[in-house]
Every structure is written in C-alpha cells, then in structure tokens.
Amino acid sequence: MDMAAEDTYLCSTAEPSLPPGVVNRCVYSTTKAAVIGLTKAVAADFIQQGVRCNCVCPGTVDTPSLQERIQARPNPEEALSDFLKRQKTGRFATAEEIALLCVYLASDESAYVTGNPVIIDGGWSL
C-alpha cells in the first residue's frame, strides 16, 4: 500500500458487540472482527508515514434500511419494540451522531488517536 501524503486518515466501520458476537450472525461477526484487525494492522504499518486509521463501531442506527427491516416483519410494532429493548438508552443512534464522530476522528483534534475501534453504541455493548 502506497500512502503518498502525510496526514492521511482512514476510517472503517465494524460491530461493537465483538466479542462475544451476535447469535446466528457468525459470518457477519467474523467479517467485522476482521475489519478491526485490519484497522489495527494498517495503523501499525503506516504510523511512521503519518497515516492514522480507526474503526467506528456504531450500535443500532435509525436508517432507512433499519426501518425497512422493521416494516418487513410480520408485526412491525412488535419488531420496533424488540429493537428498542436492546438499546440501553431507549433509542437508536442517528446517522448524524455517527457522522460527527467520523468527522472528529478525521480532524486534527484527534491527531493522537489511531488503531482503535471507537465504540458509539449508546451503551449497548456494556
């Protein structure tokens, strides 16, 4: 990998529930664990060139995709209730909340942060 310029920043996303993982999601959990491993490896390999790499690990985010999955269930109201019961804050994250973390991590203010899975899940992984 050729990183041409100093102050390069890479950001990936993974799952905050790792470990231990989520029931019936073996392949998904494996790929997300691999993303965290890749994040750490890239950060270690390129830190001397000024490259930073972190991984944002969001909890459940209120997105059109989530709403489609909820509406596809036989009982959408029950599905919504089930999803919300998993959220210790009683609500989903917003896309803006996740974006604000990504902007911070890409900024000079976080220049000392690299190689980390940064969990933003409203306490879901506690």
Domain 9-120 has CATH 3.40.50.720: yes
Based on the residue annotation, tell me whether 9 is a catalytic residue of this protein: no
- 3-state SS, residue 122: coil
Domain boundaries, the chain: 9-120
Question: Measuring CA to CA, how many Å separate 96 from each of 25, 78, 83?
Answer: 26, 26, 20
Global pTM reads: 0.84
- 3-state SS, residue 93: strand
pLDDT tens series, the chain, 126 aa: 555 556 788 999 988 765 566 678 788 888 888 999 999 999 999 999 999 999 999 999 999 999 999 999 999 999 999 999 989 999 999 999 999 999 999 999 999 999 999 999 999 888
In sequence order, the 6+-apart residues with CB closer than 8 A to the CB of 109 are none
Q: Which of 9, 28, 104, 112 is catalytic?
A: 28
